[in-house]
Structure 1
Amino acid sequence: MPTSRTRAEVEKEMKEMLGLVPGFFKQIPDAYFDYEWELFKSLELGETLIPNKYKELMGLAIHAETKCRYCTLFHTEAARLHGATDEEIQEAVHFAKMSLGWSAYLNGMQQDYDMFAEELERIVDHIKEHAPA
């Protein structure tokens, strides 16, 4: 994968945007450096279909489970940077804990998937039918 910019050009842009070249970028091989920065810049720093605050809360919830302390710290601080409150951060982590618990239970008990899907469809239909207009 050829790069379109030199490492020095990309590092200059990083310094302008972030104030430094993060250590976790420094070991990326030259062949992938520009590509990885563009991906990071567009998905992590840029505005996408999902507002940044929500992306960061999702990242926090994911990495609370993967137990990556680097990612947990990064996404917590990025969520705060994008306006997340301590209460929203706590709720994201609590939601991850609850969701993962149900996953462990349903998979561990080998719940019938087809029955689960059919019941879920009935629940969704019921909620839609009884939703306020």
Structure 2
Amino acid sequence: MNATNATVDRSAIEADIKETLGLVPHFFTRIPTELLAPEWEIFKRIELGETLIPNKYKELIGVGLHAETKCHYCSLFHTEAAKLFGATDEEIQEAVHYAKASLGWSAYINGMQEDYDRFAAELAQIGDHLRSRAA
């Protein structure tokens, strides 16, 4: 039996969501049954699970990222998740300032149509210089 023909026990998946989060958020109830299991597994693994990037830092990345996407839902989620994983208000503010600075440079460098190969070569030189100073 292939995965598309397998019977999906939606109630078991929703029970796992409720056990993990304390409730089944409405947005999960709208996911089609055949997609709920993989979406929940990805959410658990990436958003809640321990990965190579500590959860606090993943959420701070999310805060900065969604400051740019301007998604109110994602901004709220990642800000609250960052706090749950131990981020301070100061760290959250720094993540947003970092995103602002990085996006500003991106707009400038792309807008000025800097030569990419020259940029890459200069970046390599900077890296060599900084590594030599650290040694």
**What is the TM-score normalised by the length of structure 1?**
0.96
1:43-96: per-residue Cα shift (whole Å, max 9, x none)? 111000000000000011000000000000000000000000000000000000
Q: Is 1:38 matched with 2:44?
A: no
Structure 2: how far apart are the matches of 1:4 and 1:107? 50
Query: What's the Cα RMSD here?
Result: 1.2
Output the CA distance in 2 between the equivalents of 1:96 and 1:55: 14
Tell me how far 1:5 sits from its aligned partner: 4.5
**Distance in 2 between residues matched to 1:16 and 1:23, nearest whole Å:** 15
CA apart distance, 1:114? 0.7
Amino acid at match of 1:46: G
Q: Percent identity?
A: 65
Which structure 1 residue ranges, 4+ long, deviate > 6 Å from structure 2?
Answer: none
Counterpart residue number, 1:130:
133
Q: Is 2:119 aligned against 1:116?
A: yes
Ranges in structure 1 where 5+ consecutive residues have no aligned partner: none
Does structure 1 residue 82 correspond to structure 2 residue 79?
A: no
- Segments of 5+ residues of structure 2 without an aligned counterpart are none
Matched, 1:94 2:97: yes
CA contact (8 A) 1:4 1:34 kept: no
